[in-house]
Structure 1
Amino acid sequence: MAQTAANAFEGTFQGEPAVYLKAGKYEAVMLPGVGGNLISFRDTESGYRFLREPAEGEMEDFKSNPGVYGIPVLFPPNRYEDGLFPWKGEVYRFPVNEAATNNHLHGFLHTAGWQVEDFGQTKLESYVTVKAAVDEQHPAFQYLPFRFTVRLTYKLSDNGLSQHLFVKNDGDKEIPCLIAFHTAVNAPFAPGSEAKDYKVKLTIGERWEMSPRMLPTGSYQPLTEDELKLKGEGVYPFYASMDNHYTAVAQNGRNRMELTDEKLGATLVYDVGTSYKQWMIWNNGATEGFFCPEPQINLVNAPKSDLPAEEIGLFSLAPGEIWEETSRLYLK
């Protein structure tokens, strides 16, 4: 059996420092300086572009709104009421950056610079590892005064794109371990296909009821007929405007999204691992082109919820503890 031709190298992506990964027919691009964002994942033989990339001339838009391109890291993810984050007897104050809801949105790592620790290749795969080490010198420390390391490794092989996420508490206080990925998936991802050719399936459970400020009330809403299709045989990704929050319920042991181009019979699988207890799904007001299936550890605004911590993914790490999870994007 022929070995995969794997290669990793530094370059630029529209002027931004980048690490390129190649393996067989696949190519990926990481932008460490803008949130450790894996901005591109392509099948170069078929011309498939699985992630929304900034087009030529869109880099400034990407830098001003990096949450809707590639795979942005959200820490802590989603919305926090009035920018307040109660934790272990303290209340931390985040900037209110969503004026319409008076909430804080999406945390501090998707816009921060990450450090490249290593990149390279083996006979089977190429890889890159980046880290964000938060301490007194890091911009996020003024809001989350904890010392911790988030390390992100992407590997590219014949089996697609693997993502390994590692969080370690480097300090002497218990820290919140709340993370999501605002993954922006193209629909269509194939040239010559249209969004109408696509169906998405997601391992959702219950839908959370949201207040007008997009904060969960603690109650569930019944799933619509289309949402039952979303967790069953699949549904057109833009059937309605979606900014919806669900519990995650594994199917056949896996927590995943499947996006199928029915014209081509090609399915993109996003298997995120079972530590992610929630899903968000956002489709930009039902605008065809891309949508975001977002694996999320925690319920939105979780520190202010009275529900059991394990149920809502309100995870913590004691001093010296490590949390990790692995996800994969691949084509079948």
Structure 2
Amino acid sequence: MTQQNAAFEEQFGGIPAVWLRFNQFEAAVIPSVGANLVAFRNAEKGFRYLREPNQDQMDEFMAAPAVYGIPILSPPNRYEDGRFPWNGKVYQLPVNEPATGNHLHGFLHDAEWKVEGYGSDQLESYVLLSQDVKEGHTFHQYLPFTFTVTLRYSLSSQGLQQQLIVRNNGKEYMPNLFAFHTAIAVPFAPDSQASDYTAKITIGQRRELNERSLPTGQFQPLTPEEEQLKKDGVSPFFAAMDNHYTAEPQNGRNYMELTDHRTGDKLVYDVGTSYKHWMIWNNNMGGEFFCPEPQMNLVNAPNVEGIPAEEIGLIGLEPGELFEQTSRLYPITSQK
């Protein structure tokens, strides 16, 4: 990786990947494992912003890709008993989380994606990946809709941009439910500690979850630390979190901001306002990473009654329609 601005194929941990470089930034995507963007770095400073699998963790990554990098989830999170009511029909998803009896995380995060192309110029380095869901695809086996998902990742002077596009190629109204199980490294600076960090996230209300991690329909009061999370920031490990929140954009932006108070550097994850919910998971305060997960729909949304579909993000696409949302990860450099 000696070229300044470039896009090229090279392995990551022994697996074929597409690497991007632009000025001080570099990133890597693994197409064969869910188009997971497993690395986003500032090479000049030695910052690694995402939880990356190292060489000794590649088997673990292959077995559980949802806890590294930026995995795409669709349909995201949990569905009670695997039931998925939609447009007058009830579809049955496999129950793949025995502990709760739910379906979890959908069918795209471990699928093989097609590389449509990659390149670099004086403005950006990019890669375009696609998933064509049709008869014969695992997703189609359980949710028989025909559509194409494309992910475009690009590096520029503005950091890392992610563009998600979904097109309904079929003849039926289809569910359009997506999330990203983004694993942010804490610390991201090599000489910092987790205790040097605070996170701010534009959460709104916390939804009560039952023993099966499904919403009860009720809200719970925010703790003082959660109030800090939405205002000035707090340690992302202040408590064990596997929490579901409404998104409440601030100043027109829906985002997470992680600050290293030792260096003064910040990482901003601006996800866009189509993501009406946040899941926040910190691996039982395990340190090293936490997951601020932008999610379009309420957990178990198709099984929820009495709440408007638009409010809970239970949205769809008519035949021929497109959906697009752009998100960005970018640093704010310390002025120290």
TM-score class, shorter: over 0.9
Aligned to 1:122: 121
Aligned to 1:222: 221
Aligned to 1:304: 303
Distance in 2 (alpha carbons) for counterparts of 1:235 and 1:126? 34
Aligned to 2:277: 278
Residues 71-91 of structure 1 show CA distances to partners (whole Å, capped at 9, x for unaligned) of: 000000000000111111111
Residues 208-254 of structure 1 show CA distances to partners (whole Å, capped at 9, x for unaligned) of: 01011000011111111000000000000101000000000110110
Aligned to 2:152: 153
Aligned to 1:314: 314
Q: Residue type matched to 1:173 in 2?
A: E
Q: Please state whether the residue corresponding to 2:309 is helix, strand or coil.
A: coil
Q: Please state whether the residue corresponding to 1:59 is helix, strand or coil.
A: helix
Tell whether 2:172 aligns with 1:173.
yes
Aligned-residue offset at 1:109: 0.0
Q: Residue type matched to 1:281 in 2?
A: I
Q: Residue type matched to 2:48 in 1?
A: R
Tell whether 2:142 aligns with 1:143.
yes
Distance in 2 (alpha carbons) for counterparts of 1:5 and 1:67? 30
Aligned-residue offset at 1:277: 0.3
Distance in 2 (alpha carbons) for counterparts of 1:5 and 1:28? 13
Q: Please state whether the residue corresponding to 2:60 is helix, strand or coil.
A: helix
Aligned-residue offset at 1:206: 0.6
Residues 139-193 of structure 1 show CA distances to partners (whole Å, capped at 9, x for unaligned) of: 2211111100010000001110000000000000000000000000001000110
Distance in 1 (alpha carbons) for counterparts of 2:135 and 2:115? 20
Aligned-residue offset at 1:137: 2.3
Alignment of structure 1 residues 230-245 onto 2, 5 Å: 230-245=229-244
Distance in 1 (alpha carbons) for counterparts of 2:10 and 2:288? 28
Aligned to 1:21: 20
Q: Residue type matched to 2:303 in 1?
A: K
Distance in 1 (alpha carbons) for counterparts of 2:298 and 2:137? 26
Deviating beyond 2 angstroms after TM superposition, the runs of 4 or more aligned structure 1 residues are: none
Contact 1:5–1:123 at 8 Å: present in 2 too? no
Distance in 1 (alpha carbons) for counterparts of 2:278 and 2:167? 23
Aligned to 2:325: 325
Number of equivalences: 329
- More displaced 10-residue stretch of structure 1: 161-170 or 8-17: 8-17
Structure 2-normalised TM-score?
A: 0.97
Aligned-residue offset at 1:122: 1.6
Q: Please state whether the residue corresponding to 2:312 is helix, strand or coil.
A: coil
Distance in 2 (alpha carbons) for counterparts of 1:222 and 1:87? 32
Q: Residue type matched to 1:264 in 2?
A: T
Contact 1:5–1:124 at 8 Å: present in 2 too? no
Distance in 2 (alpha carbons) for counterparts of 1:122 and 1:93? 46
Q: Residue type matched to 1:7 in 2?
A: A
Q: Please state whether the residue corresponding to 2:263 is helix, strand or coil.
A: coil
Aligned-residue offset at 1:194: 0.3
Distance in 2 (alpha carbons) for counterparts of 1:6 and 1:138? 36
Q: Residue type matched to 1:308 in 2?
A: P
Q: Please state whether the residue corresponding to 1:58 is helix, strand or coil.
A: helix
Distance in 2 (alpha carbons) for counterparts of 1:101 and 1:138? 26
Q: Please state whether the residue corresponding to 2:61 is helix, strand or coil.
A: helix
Give identity over the alignment, percent.
60
Aligned-residue offset at 1:24: 0.3
Q: Please state whether the residue corresponding to 1:67 is helix, strand or coil.
A: helix
Q: Residue type matched to 1:328 in 2?
A: R
Distance in 2 (alpha carbons) for counterparts of 1:102 and 1:260? 38
Distance in 1 (alpha carbons) for counterparts of 2:174 and 2:14? 36
Aligned-residue offset at 1:94: 0.9
Residues 279-308 of structure 1 show CA distances to partners (whole Å, capped at 9, x for unaligned) of: 000000011100000000000000011111
Tell whether 2:259 aligns with 1:264.
no
- More displaced 10-residue stretch of structure 1: 86-95 or 162-171: 86-95
Q: Residue type matched to 2:314 in 1?
A: L
Q: Residue type matched to 2:317 in 1?
A: L
Aligned to 2:88: 89
Contact 1:75–1:108 at 8 Å: present in 2 too? yes
Distance in 2 (alpha carbons) for counterparts of 1:304 and 1:106? 16
Distance in 2 (alpha carbons) for counterparts of 1:17 and 1:146? 30
Q: Residue type matched to 1:109 in 2?
A: L
Distance in 2 (alpha carbons) for counterparts of 1:17 and 1:300? 33
Residues 33-58 of structure 1 show CA distances to partners (whole Å, capped at 9, x for unaligned) of: 00010010000011000000111121
Alignment of structure 1 residues 182-201 onto 2, 5 Å: 182-201=181-200
Distance in 2 (alpha carbons) for counterparts of 1:9 and 1:53? 19
Contact 1:282–1:293 at 8 Å: present in 2 too? yes
Contact 1:6–1:157 at 8 Å: present in 2 too? no
Residues 85-138 of structure 1 show CA distances to partners (whole Å, capped at 9, x for unaligned) of: 111111111111111100000000001000000100121110000000000021
